[in-house]
Amino acid sequence: MSLSELSVLSAETAISFHEMDLEILKESQKALREEAGGKEEVEETVENPNPIVFIAVDDQNLPNGEEEDSFIFEKLQFRVKQVMENGTRRVYLSVQATTPAEWQLLVQLRIKTGCQSNILNVVDKDVYKFDSFSYPLNVEIQNSDVKFLKFEMRVLNLMYLDLPTFEEGDEVIEFDDGSRIRVHSNILSLLSDYLGKSEKEYASRTDCPAIKATCSEKEAFLELLYQAYPTRRPIFASFRRLTAGAVGYKCDNLIYQLSKHLIDYNYRPMTFLQRFQAAIENRLEPAISELAFRAALDGTWNQMIQSGFEPENFCGRQVYTKIVCPAILLARNAKPDATTLKKPENNLKFIELEEGDTTKSAILFRGTIFYINSGILAAHGKEMLCIGQNGEYIARYTAEFHRECARGDLIPGEVLVQLLTYMHPMGEVPHPDMIRACIVFAFDHGWNIVKENLENEFEPPITPDEYMSQLMFGDKFDLKNLLRVNIQRAESSCRELAEVLERHGKLKILKDRTHEGIMDRMCSGWGLNPMVNRLSTRFPTTFHHRTVNLQRGKAVVVGEGRAVDTLNSLASDHAFGEPTELIVVD
């Protein structure tokens, strides 16, 4: 394919105001005429206090939703709100899920403005991440000449997973308000031994219609279940409720993770006392002990005592004497890098089955029996597993899985153990060498959630062969996010690799959509010139306040900002990227 043909391809896939946009514009003008009740022709330049806003994602203009100023993209709804604040026109762009779900959307975003529908200029661009916790994009329009505003996006990563409705399962959970839900058998035992005993009692008694959940409120218990089920829900989504449930039902692994999150939390500046008080209020004993221990190590504790701090009044007598004091004494003879925070031991066993353990299902794989919690297996799906003569499940050993194991000189059983470990709550990610084989096994057995999670764990390719291998793998197993990120790399970090593959004609092996996407990015990608172009990165900005006019736009960085926008946050590298990718602002 010649360069001229590539230019034509890029022109065809570029985004601009086309017929669909103009039809929408005509409809809005028609509505204005009807409201005015006049018969005169309304020109395109009709005075409208609000600019007309359009949204395009992946070269497609989004259709309007049922609600006013809303646009639909798959299961996501973009909402546009225009307000006048202190004489300044502002356009807010937010994204919401249309169903209860865990989701995130990472995009390259360009903002276009114009005074006419057929002439639009790119005035601002950056990488944005939208999720349940992100702030709306706030675009401040500096003058009234801006009549048209368009948000153009190219998706880098899209994750969307509906939360479980708890309508299926063999176990019934009843709450204080009388409401009930159903869960898969034995899934509660994943969270704690305490809950596991409740399940055993429920299973052994015929006169027990439901498991009573009385140690916490219903919402807290549901947060626990979201951690047991494959939901992608982060532990900070509802920190206090999850903590209440974890402490109430003695979920040691969750208590450790919550304590670690509180101790390491640096999204906004927190004083020692604020962090210490949060640990006490949430009854996180490991966090209380570790914070007191660190304070004694670095001298903070002695300084506070000399300033008149009353620890017994602050902590309460029992917390002070049983948790804080032992930690302080332990720190006096400890090394500077010592810690009291210890991760609970991993007791997962997939080859052995303890006597009397009825919580696990047997999976026969290449002559070996593996045991996995029956609840987590039901949550991921067992429809693709065959059933043997003794009631055991039989896993498939496909030619593709065999090739992936042979390719990396991997033992299939070890791959399965790492995959099963990952499927458990807060399970460790498989070794990088096993990611591909794990994805193939998950694909073969319909474990789509695991497959979609693991495709985000690929290491960046560094050679043309690695790059081509990832593209072909993504095509074969429909790994949309792996393809998105590698297509975007063709305009930045992997541009030279893509050019080598194109010169040797290897890209033609790929599916047409993948091939065309790579060619477009190499020629007309939004992230070309990566040394000065923010769109060449995949690190989302935290500057959500922007100003635009007809000629240019920029980020607003005046004021305190959010912690991640400053060096107060250890995540600043993720916000700004490498030194060569720093944003230049006025």
Per-position pLDDT tens, the chain of length 586 = 443 333 333 333 333 344 444 455 456 545 545 554 544 444 444 455 788 999 999 989 999 888 888 999 999 999 999 999 888 899 999 999 999 999 999 999 999 999 987 889 999 999 999 999 999 999 999 988 999 999 999 999 999 999 999 999 999 999 988 899 999 999 999 999 999 988 888 878 777 788 888 888 999 999 999 999 999 999 999 999 999 999 999 999 999 999 999 998 877 778 899 999 999 999 999 999 999 999 999 999 999 999 999 999 999 999 999 999 999 999 999 999 999 999 998 888 999 999 888 999 999 999 999 999 999 999 999 999 999 999 999 999 999 999 999 999 999 999 999 999 999 999 999 999 999 999 999 999 999 999 999 999 999 999 999 999 999 999 999 999 999 999 999 998 999 999 999 999 999 999 999 999 999 999 989 988 766 678 888 889 989 999 999 999 999 876 544 444 333 333 333 333 333 333 434 3
pLDDT of residue 6: 36
Residues 6+ apart with CB under 8 A from 581: 530, 531, 534, 536, 537, 539
Decide if 324 is inside a domain. yes
**Which amino acid, one-letter code, is at 408?**
G
C-alpha dist (Å) from residue 254 to 205, 234, 294, 359: 29, 11, 22, 20
Burial of 153 (0-12, 13-18, 19+ CB in 10 A): buried
Burial of 455 (0-12, 13-18, 19+ CB in 10 A): buried
How many structural domains compose the chain?
3
Structure tokens at 463: 């050679």
d(CA 189, CA 359): 8
Domain range for 325 is: 259-331
**In this structure, are 75 and 101 located in the same domain?**
yes
d(CA 171, CA 186): 8
Helices (H), 392-463: 399-407, 412-423, 435-444, 448-454
pLDDT of residue 531: 62
**Which amino acid, one-letter code, is at 270?**
M
pLDDT of residue 23: 55
pLDDT of residue 47: 52
73: left (phi over 0), alpha (psi -120 to 50) or beta: beta
**In this structure, are 271 and 245 located in the same domain?**
no
**In this structure, are 76 and 200 located in the same domain?**
no
d(CA 429, CA 426): 9
d(CA 303, CA 252): 33
pLDDT of residue 376: 96
**In this structure, are 71 and 152 located in the same domain?**
yes
**In this structure, are 52 and 145 located in the same domain?**
yes
Last residue of a domain, one of 331, 348, 372: 331
CB contact at 8 A, 295 and 301: yes
Virtual torsion, Cα 274, 276, 280, 285, nearest 10 deg: 150
Decide if 111 is inside a domain. yes
Give the pTM: 0.84
pLDDT of residue 532: 62
Last residue of a domain, one of 182, 215, 249: 249
**In this structure, are 8 and 148 located in the same domain?**
yes
pLDDT of residue 356: 86
CB contact at 8 A, 563 and 268: yes
Last residue of a domain, one of 331, 363, 388: 331
Helices (H), 64-191: none
